[in-house]
């Protein structure tokens, strides 16, 4: 399998979360979300370069985090650069910094810290076969096409849910394909909500690799709470009871309340 360059957009303001510190720089269990995400990619062992577009105020913090993880001995080149107004502008800036010799470019939101290294490699494998592959999950809710006028929101069309998938990242592309997609989008003034949509506009198929629900994007306050819980669980996994239950006492799972001592067995 080939090596790849990672673009990790981290320049957003986190409007929907409404936190003072931008999402990638929020600390959970002692590490920033950006560091946790970077760690998952380090574990793939295929990383050749990391480019992080971020806002000016956080460039030092991003550089420190990346250089802690990717010391000289790793051979991974790190560039922290200025992001843009839209996510697509941040990626466009980052593409200009990716080494021309690297054949595969992986784009992943800095705020999806639970992506599994093995899943990243599955997407890379598909991309190597078809030049464009992304992680996605089948839509779990029914999706309505909404219309809106004078404060009223209504629908008249419900697309067939069995054909709908929700795009996640990583999204991995052959380097020349994603560069061409970005050039065309800029020429036509097209702004997409993900990178794959720019490639689709070239008439190129994008393979979907089924991902997991754990790879959610930290977007709203409830997502941050869930992320905190999951990271706490990772850093402090529950102890598994290995010793047998004492004779005469039935073992109870930690989720079951023990039976009261003087329970009335005849009670329903």
Q: Which residues bind ligand CTP (CB under 6 A)?
A: 9-16, 23-24, 53, 83-87, 90, 109-111, 217, 219
Residue among 49 and 55 whose Cβ is closer to ligand CTP: 55
Q: How far is the CB of 134 from Mg ion (least distance, A)?
A: 18
Residue among 85 and 247 whose Cβ is closer to ligand CTP: 85
Q: Which does 16 bind (CB under 5 to 8 A by kind): Mg ion, ligand CTP, none?
A: ligand CTP
Q: Which two tokens stand for residue 81?
A: 């650069």
Residue among 122 and 197 whose Cβ is closer to Mg ion: 197
CA gap 36, 27 in Å, rounded: 10
DSSP state letters, 203-256? T---EEEE--TTS----SHHHHHHHHHHHHHHHSPPPP--SPPPTTS----TTS
Which residues fall within 8 angstroms of residue 72, CB to CB, at 6 or more apart?
Answer: none
Q: Which two tokens stand for residue 142?
A: 């029914």
Q: How far is the CB of 12 from Mg ion (least distance, A)?
A: 5
Q: How far is the CB of 44 from ligand CTP (least distance, A)?
A: 19
Residue among 12 and 22 whose Cβ is closer to Mg ion: 12
Contact map string, positions 8 to 37, toward Mg ion, x by CB under 5 A = ----x-------------------------
Question: Which residue number places its CB atom closest to ligand CTP?
Answer: 12
Residue among 12 and 170 whose Cβ is closer to Mg ion: 12
Q: Which does 13 bind (CB under 5 to 8 A by kind): Mg ion, ligand CTP, none?
A: ligand CTP
* 135: phi then psi, degrees, rounded to nearest 5: -85, 140
Q: Which does 86 bind (CB under 5 to 8 A by kind): Mg ion, ligand CTP, none?
A: ligand CTP
Q: List Cα–Cα distances, 106 to 6, 25, 53, 186, 211, in angstroms.
A: 5, 21, 14, 20, 16
Q: How far is CA 10 from the centre of its chain?
A: 12
Q: How far is the CB of 118 from Mg ion (least distance, A)?
A: 28
Q: How far is the CB of 26 from ligand CTP (least distance, A)?
A: 11
Q: How far is the CB of 54 from ligand CTP (least distance, A)?
A: 7
Q: How far is the CB of 50 from ligand CTP (least distance, A)?
A: 14
Contact 156, 148 (CB under 8 A): no
Q: Which two tokens stand for residue 83?
A: 């992001």
Residue among 93 and 175 whose Cβ is closer to ligand CTP: 93
Q: Which two tokens stand for residue 170?
A: 């990583």
CA gap 59, 71 in Å, rounded: 17
Answer left, alpha or beta for residue 197, where phi above 0 means left and psi between -120 and 50 means alpha: alpha
Q: How many of the chain's residues bind Mg ion (CB under 5 A)?
A: 1
Residue among 175 and 215 whose Cβ is closer to Mg ion: 215
Q: Give residues in contact with Mg ion (CB under 5 A).
A: 12
């Amino acid at each position: 399998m080939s090596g790849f360059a990672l673009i990790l957009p981290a320049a957003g303001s986190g409007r929907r979360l409404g936190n003072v510190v931008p999402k990638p720089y929020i600390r959970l269990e002692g590490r920033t979300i950006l560091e946790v995400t970077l760690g998952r990619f380090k574990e793939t062992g295929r990383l050749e370069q990391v480019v992080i577009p971020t806002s000016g105020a956080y460039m030092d913090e991003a550089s420190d985090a990346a250089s802690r993880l990717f010391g000289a001995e790793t051979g991974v080149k790190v560039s922290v650069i200025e992001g843009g107004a839209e996510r697509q502008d941040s990626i466009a800036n980052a593409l200009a910094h990716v080494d021309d010799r690297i054949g595969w470019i992986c784009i992943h939101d800095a705020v999806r810290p639970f992506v599994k290294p093995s899943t990243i490699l599955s997407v890379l494998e598909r991309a190597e076969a078809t030049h464009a592959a992304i992680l996605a999950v089948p839509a779990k809710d029914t999706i309505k096409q909404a219309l809106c006028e004078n404060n009223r929101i209504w629908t008249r069309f419900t697309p067939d849910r069995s054909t709908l998938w929700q795009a996640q990242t990583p999204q991995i592309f052959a380097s020349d394909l994603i560069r061409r997609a970005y050039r065309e989008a800029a020429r036509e003034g097209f702004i997409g909500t993900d990178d794959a949509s720019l490639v689709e506009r070239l008439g190129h198929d994008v393979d979907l690799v089924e991902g997991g629900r754990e790879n959610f994007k930290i977007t709203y306050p409830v997502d941050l709470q869930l992320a905190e819980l999951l990271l706490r669980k990772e850093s402090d996994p529950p102890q598994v009871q290995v010793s047998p239950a004492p004779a005469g006492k039935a073992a109870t799972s930690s989720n079951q309340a023990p039976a009261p001592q003087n329970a009335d067995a005849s009670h329903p």
